[in-house]
Chain A
Amino acid sequence: MIEKALKGSPRYFGVLMAFLAIMGIGGGFYLVQLNNGLMITGLSRDVSWGFYIAQFTYMVGVAASAVMLVLPYYFHHYKAYSKMIIMGEFLAIAAVIMCLGFIVIDIGQPQRMLNVLINSTPNSVLFWDMVVLNGYLILNVVIGWTSLMAYWKRVSPPAWVKPLVYTSIVWAFSIHTVTAFLYAGLPGRHYWLTAILAARFLSSAFCSGPAILLLMTLLISKVTKFDPGKEAVKTLSTTITYAMCVNVFFFFLEVFTAFYSNMPGHMDPILFLFSGFEGHTYMTPFMWIAALFAITSLILLIPYKWRYNRDVLVPALILLVIGTWIDKGMGLIAAGFTPNPFEKVTEYLPTGPELMIALMIYAVGGFVLTILWKIALEVRAEVEGGL
């Protein structure tokens, strides 16, 4: 089956080449970082995690979101997802690979990475995060590959896949919950110190991840003959809409708790994000754009007539993805560290090299995804006779 990745149109190879080129450029910057240390980033003593870890957090959400297809398909035998499911599983694989990549580029001594295994420390959430991420990767590779293989050979998937699928459903929730626990249990970081953080993570994952999947599937259906099916698009967009409503609702719960309680520690990070803190307003434009995009996407998605119209759906999904990305991929980490426990602001914005290195990881993800989806589409075309 793998040989299907080796043949393709010039456009397919063009896309792969483009990703390779970005990986090459980003890789150059990564070499600079390896030689000089993380001094090339905008990180500091006060803001010790930044863009890399934020992208990791966002991508865990994308990885977890495959469950929004797997769950209805396997639990409720929702057949409309039969064409999409493999795309979701393969997207999860690419997303977890990116997650691991973002962690690797973030640590100061990558060559000591295996220390986490050798000196495994169960009281550290980071240890568990590594366990669940790698476990999820293996689960999705095994499930995705075997089901596709079975489909290709026109047999039904082996029986042992089923229990793995059910495991993967629970597992998907665990990867994002454990990632939320990385943050949620830290004294002195008020923005993260909230019991609803894991729930917020999941709600934002379950809208943004499927939105990315749907956008890319629609793109693929434009450039190839693949058709995810009307029904699947409708249902998935409805799922996205509900998840986004919950996501926005959860955010308002945080705002209420912070401002009605009037406790400075809880209000300060939100003030920092939306109105600036002691004159530091560099995050506010981003956050207001995020809020605006989130609300607009909901206005466009909630009326089903608009939602079921692809000309409205696509821009709405794009707004949703950008809005949730700013919230998690920028705001979440910044507000956890700002203001710091001494109510001081150390500004953090990613540097150029930092962005390029992160782009490298995104290109790795794009590369992996392109190959995986190519294989999946070819197999489908072959089995269904020209699609």
Chain B
Amino acid sequence: MQRSRRDFMKLAGVSALGLSAGTLGFLGQGAQAADALPTATDFAKPITAKQWAMVIDTAKFDDALFKKVITACHAYHNVPEIPGKQEIKWIWTDEFHGAFPTERPAFLADAQEHRKYLLLCNHCANPACVRVCPTKATFKNNEGLVVMDYHRCIGCRYCMAGCPYGARSFNFRDPQDFIKDMNLLYPHRTRGVVEKCTFCVEKLAQGKMPLCVEASGGAMIFGDLADPKSEVRKVLKEKYAIRRNPSAGTEPSVFYIL
């Protein structure tokens, strides 16, 4: 059932994009957007996996790279910049204690202490958010991606209570006014629904890597956790990596090399 739903959404996406390619010319930004519109051939060669995963090499990051990576994601996905505690974020940073509160090292090595860590949805193999959602608006597809159908979401925010990683944001207000440059290639959300990082499911469907991974210049590695020959597995074999709050039992798919 999930399979067919994904195929359907892909198809719907392609036809919608095809339609808008024809009609967007009427609009101001139409021509510019039409240039980059993916066509059906772009979706012909998706990259697939059993369980997508990400390894973040934390030592390779500095403030500039954080900014680059976060902007790549937020700008493309129309993530609004809302100030204050009702903010929305898909990918963000925190210091060690915030990122790994269950580690509680008493004396942190300097290198790790003064570093920041890139945080995003872990696309858990056993996601608490999916377990609690009453409408299947949050669901896990057969590639291990935890994604959302915004049109199904009733905005009960149970998933926010369920996620032990604070990976979800709620649209307390209409996000439109807080999106600086609207990207017409990607929809923005409406008031009253929850949203989060999708591991760029729409890029994978076109055979491309997630935007943050592309922008990271090798500091982030992406691949199939179930495939021993994949890039992520190779890295994990060589370097010690930890996950956030593993005791929550959600089996996060984001790994951090310290």
Contacts and interface: CB of A to CB of B under 8 A. Distances in A.
B6 interface: no
Interface string A252-272: 000000000000100000000
B135 A121 contact: yes
Contacts of A38: 155, 170, 172, 192
Given A43-B172, A45-B170, A126-B132, A109 B164 contact: no
Contacts of B84: 44
A337 B85 CA distance: 14
B164 A39 contact: no
B152 interface: yes
A279 B165 CA distance: 23
17 contacts: A37-B172, A38-B192, A43-B170, A44-B85, A48-B161, A106-B156, A107-B155, A108-B153, A109-B193, A112-B152, A112-B154, A115-B135, A123-B131, A124-B133, A182-B158, A189-B164, A343-B98
A36 interface: yes
B97 interface: yes
Contacts of B166: 45-46, 340-342
Contact of B171 (A37, A183, A340): A37
Given A49-B157, A126-B134, A187 B164 contact: yes
Interface in A332-348: 336-337, 340-344, 346
Interface of A: 36-39, 41, 43-46, 48-49, 106-110, 112-113, 115-116, 119, 121, 123-127, 130, 182-183, 186-189, 264, 336-337, 340-344, 346
Contact of A116 (B89, B135, B194): B135
B160 interface: yes
Contacts of B198: none
Given A43-B86, A112-B135, 8 more contacts: A39-B173, A46-B166, A124-B158, A186-B128, A188-B165, A188-B245, A336-B161, A342-B97
B169 interface: yes
Contact of B170 (A108, A115, A119, A344): A108
- Closest A-B pairs by Cβ, 4 of them: A108-B155, A188-B164, A108-B192, A44-B85
A311 to B, nearest CB: 44
B212 interface: no
Contact of B192 (A37, A45, A125, A127): A37
Contacts of A36: 173-174, 191
A337 B162 CA distance: 11
Interface in B106-123: none
B213 interface: no
B85 A119 contact: no
Contact of A126 (B156, B160, B164): B156
Contact of A124 (B101, B134, B172, B173): B134
B65 interface: no
Contacts of B250: 187
Given A38-B192, A108-B191, A187-B250, A343 B153 contact: no
Contacts of B171: 37, 108
Contacts of A127: 134
Nearest to B97: A343
Contact of A341 (B135, B164, B191, B249): B164
B136 interface: yes
Interface of B: 84-89, 94, 97-99, 101, 104, 128, 131-137, 152-158, 160-166, 169-174, 191-194, 245, 248-250
B118 to A, nearest CB: 15
Nearest to B128: A187
B149 to A, nearest CB: 10
Contacts of B94: 342
Given A43-B86, A112-B154, A189-B161, A37 B133 contact: no
Given A109-B192, A341-B166, A116 B161 contact: no
A37 B157 CA distance: 13
Contacts of A186: 128, 132, 161-162, 164
A66 B258 CA distance: 57
Contacts of A107: 154-156, 192
Contacts of B101: 341-343
Contacts of B155: 38, 107-109, 112
Contacts of B249: 187
| Residue in B135, B152, B191 with the greatest tally of chain A CB atoms within 10 Å | B135
A49 B161 contact: yes
Contacts of A264: 104
A346 B85 contact: yes
B152 A48 contact: no
B86 A121 contact: no
Contacts of A344: 98
B154 A116 contact: yes
A343 B101 CA distance: 7
A110 B153 CA distance: 10
**Which of A43, A116, A121 has the most C-beta atoms of chain B within 10 angstroms of its own C-beta?**
A121
B95 to A, nearest CB: 10
A124 B192 CA distance: 20
A108 B101 CA distance: 30
B191 A37 contact: yes
Contacts of B164: 186-189, 341
Nearest to A38: B172
A183 to B, nearest CB: 8
Residue of A115, A126, A188 contacting most chain B CB atoms (<10 Å): A188
A312 to B, nearest CB: 41
Contacts of B87: 45
A269 to B, nearest CB: 14
Contacts of B191: 36-37, 108
Contact of B152 (A115, A123, A125, A130): A115
Nearest to B126: A187
Contact of A48 (B133, B136, B160): B160
Contact of A44 (B86, B161, B165): B86
